[in-house]
Amino acid sequence: MTHSTLRIRSLVLHVAALVFSFAPTRAPAQAEAATPATSAARTSAAQVQQAFVEIARTVRPGVVTLRAFARAAIAPAVEAAAHAEAAARAPAKPSGWQAEPETEDYPGFKFYAAGSGFLVDAGGEVLTCLHALEQPGGGLPDLVDVETYDGTRMIAEIVGTEPTVNLALVQCTVFPSGRQPADAPGASRMKALRFGDSDAMESGQWVLGFGDPSGPDKYMGTGTFIARPTRDCYQDQLSAFFLQVALTVPREAYGGPIVNLDGEVIGVLAPRHATPGGGNEPRTGIEYAMPSKIVQGLYQSIRQVRSFQSPWLGFSVMSRAELAAARGIDAFNALEKPRHGILIENVYSPSPAAGAGIQPGDFLTGLDDTSIFAPVDFQKALYLAGVGKRVRLRLCRGTTQFEQELVIQRRPAEATPR
């Protein structure tokens, strides 16, 4: 941990303690005695404020705007669908940011939606929420551009997506002065952010959220961490997959990062219920984010296989830690289980797993040549194999070990997680 980080943490803890040192309202005769304590508290508060400024200076250059365009020939249909959905939602109040008017940046294309994202690679890879780019009637945009912190705009392509968790990976491809490697002169605008450990967060810790909607507006909010996800698997209970923070985030900031006091990304801001084109959700003061632990694995898998589908075998899983928490440590210790592996919690029917006779309570210990120790191992192996691939699962039921071959399918629409 750097000296700067230690100083920031020390200041934040110090100002929290000094909050309790403010004296109650006193009589005029006591006012002079109260001045030194009040001055010290204000000084410490100013130091913590400066710490937040330093974090923002570190993070903001890595936050970007993404804009989605439809071809002019189909734009009227997209626009009509957007108006119909907006009327159906009928939000009580707009967020305050309005869509940027149509420009001549890309003749033959019409702007229809925008969102936030952040750089994960100095070569121009960006993570964002898929829903912010989708056409209101469904489907991916015909053109995407990315605007960096310094105002530079680049045409980009969508490398891959994970529709179930609302994640998209975008690669900047057309630079203003040609394709630039990360170490080329002038490439400093591509500042990649670092991932942190979402599992290391505890309730009450500070978090900072960032976004960069289309236009001159920016978003930064400070809040507190509420809770880690209760499930690492999103196949069944999607709502249990998100981490929770105390923030109020405008919808145009979805896709932006949540960072800890080290400036590390511990989550991706996302709506609990996504609407194509970035539809509104009621603001409650509690926001959700995809945890960095899962996002990192999905990001690496998506960039390698360039997948646009959710691979699916028809079951959800639990880690050993989740299983122990759900059943109690004594029941967990007494459970017949293999030396490693994760529990198959639920099995959908119909599905490849149900057809093969896989049951809730079985343990998954391997997929092809990959040994499974945690849900993220399973998720990564599933993506790297890809839809249509026949895979060999290694399983354990009680004391019996066995194998099953299944073909990975695209997750069907009716298998929507809760």
Tell me the pLDDT tens digit for each residue of 34-74: 566 568 888 888 888 999 999 999 999 999 999 999 988 75
> Cα 25 to the chain's mean position, in Å?
45
Using DSSP's 3-state secondary structure scheme, residue 21 falls into helix
DSSP 285-331: SEEEEEEHHHHHHHHHHHHHH---S-EE-SEEEE-HHHHHHHH-HHH
pLDDT band at 329, cuts 50/70/90? very high
Rounded to 10°, the helix 3-18/28-59 angle is: 150
pLDDT (average), residues 386-409: 94
- Residue-averaged pLDDT of the chain: 81
Nearest to 134 by CA among 109, 155, 158: 158
Q: Which residue has the higher pLDDT, 16 or 303?
A: 303
Q: Compute the distance between CA of residue 418 and CA of residue 346 in angstroms, rounded to an integer.
A: 13
pLDDT at 186 over 50: no
pLDDT (average), residues 205-234: 88
pLDDT (average), residues 178-199: 69
Q: Which residue has the higher pLDDT, 198 or 275?
A: 198
DSSP 251-283: GGGTT-EEE-TTS-EEEEEE-SS--TTT-----
pLDDT digits (tens, 9 = 90+) for 1-33: 555 555 555 555 554 544 444 444 444 545 455
Q: Compute the distance between CA of residue 260 and CA of residue 299 in angstroms, rounded to an integer.
A: 20
Dihedral in degrees, nearest 10, Cα atoms 42, 46, 51, 57 = 160
DSSP secondary structure code for residue 364 in this structure: E
C-alpha distances (whole Å) from 215 to each of 66, 118, 249 are 11, 16, 17
Q: Compute the distance between CA of residue 170 and CA of residue 151 in angstroms, rounded to an integer.
A: 18
- Where in 61-142 does DSSP place strands (E)? 63-71, 109-121, 125-129
The model's pTM is 0.72
- pLDDT > 90: percent of the chain: 47
- Looking at residue 270, its pLDDT comes to 92
Cis peptide before 350 (omega within 30 of 0): yes
Phi-psi sector, 83: left (phi>0), alpha (psi -120 to 50), beta: alpha
Q: Which residue has the higher pLDDT, 282 or 58?
A: 58
